[in-house]
Amino acid sequence: MAIRRLRSRAVPFLPLLLLLAPLIYSVSRLHFSWAPERGMCLPPPSAPEGRQCLPPPAAVKRPDRLVLGPAAGQGRPDRLQCQGLKAVNKIGLSSERNYSGGHVTFVTVFTTYNSDPAETGKMSSNVVTVGKHSYSKVGRSMAILNTFITFIQVSMPRSNVIILTDPNSKFSINYGSAAMLPIKGNYSRGNLMLQRIRSYITFLEQKHMELETVKDLNHFIFTDSDIAVINDLGHIFKEYPHCHLALTFRNNKGQPLNSGFVAVRGTRDGIFKAIEFFKEVLEAYRLKYMKASRMLGDQLALAWVVKSHLPSAFGKFSGHEVFTGEVNGASILFLPCAVYNWTPPEGAGQFHGMPLDVKV
């Protein structure tokens, strides 16, 4: 019926249709002999030997451990290669000596957990291998925390680190530039992100009260404890003197803001605005996202607060330009994750060097 209708309306195209008919027929047979859930089936069912299905290609398993060796960073001219001191020379040493915008303190939340009693005696479940070294899960967490502190000591040697932790935590830090500050709360795994916001608020409230007795300006950068600060960040507070807070954004529809980096200006107004901002995020978390995965609720709440006050910001998250906006009276500086909170896109264990402009 379709060919008859075509012939009546467009006879000149009939020769072309006749030429294409065998091709259309072949493609249709190929379509019917393809089964995605089983792989490729050749030849088609009408062939004498019947249907023969090739198995589907095996899924590529992403590694669960660090991959060491010459592959790291090689062949990527746009990435900083793993070359020891040669790499350090490419990014340059800290520029802190040229910065006079106030002291910077890094603040992170960290605690350790005892092994699950049900796993006692199962050594394989409590041992993590990184390269040629094996760690207990607590040992690995401590190694990452120590690396976090060391990066800051190298990149911003005049800065210090404050670790907000559960008063019952049983770990110690042996760095002169780092100190532990116990804050009461529920630091269980399922509640950690909620508690982190509460600990931030308690810490900032203490600092707000101490302003009467402190003469020097001290800014704060709240971060995850598994980041690497590789360049000076003091310029954020100097170049954007009117911003109270800084957040990092990325082109991610569900979680466009990464809660692992929040900068707070250390002025009275800056700390007050940050306290109010964190309180609003905490309330959104409690009311809307308590059922979210334990590592997602804070970022969902963070995005909700920003969107409720500054919906225009979401149209800029797909770009890479720094911009500012006002959220409930607080001036917010939005920084691209591509520079200030970069994550290797290759996935776990497949680090192929770092872009040259990355700072965190």
pTM of this prediction? 0.75
8 Å CB contact between 201 and 217: no
For residue 2, what are its two tokens? 């379709």
Task: Report the candidate in 246, 233, 252, 239 with the shortest Cα–Cα distance to residue 300.
Answer: 252
The structure tokens listed for 182 are: 């116990």
Could you list the pLDDT tens digit for every one of the 360 residues in the chain?
Answer: 444 443 444 444 434 433 344 433 433 333 333 444 334 444 454 545 555 555 555 555 544 444 444 444 555 666 665 554 444 455 555 555 455 567 999 999 999 987 554 444 444 567 877 777 888 888 889 999 999 999 999 999 999 999 999 999 989 998 889 999 999 999 999 999 999 999 999 999 999 999 988 888 999 999 999 999 999 999 999 999 999 999 999 999 889 999 999 999 999 999 999 999 999 999 999 999 998 877 789 999 999 999 999 999 999 999 999 999 999 999 999 999 999 999 877 665 566 678 888 999
Q: What single-letter amino acid sits at 97?
A: R
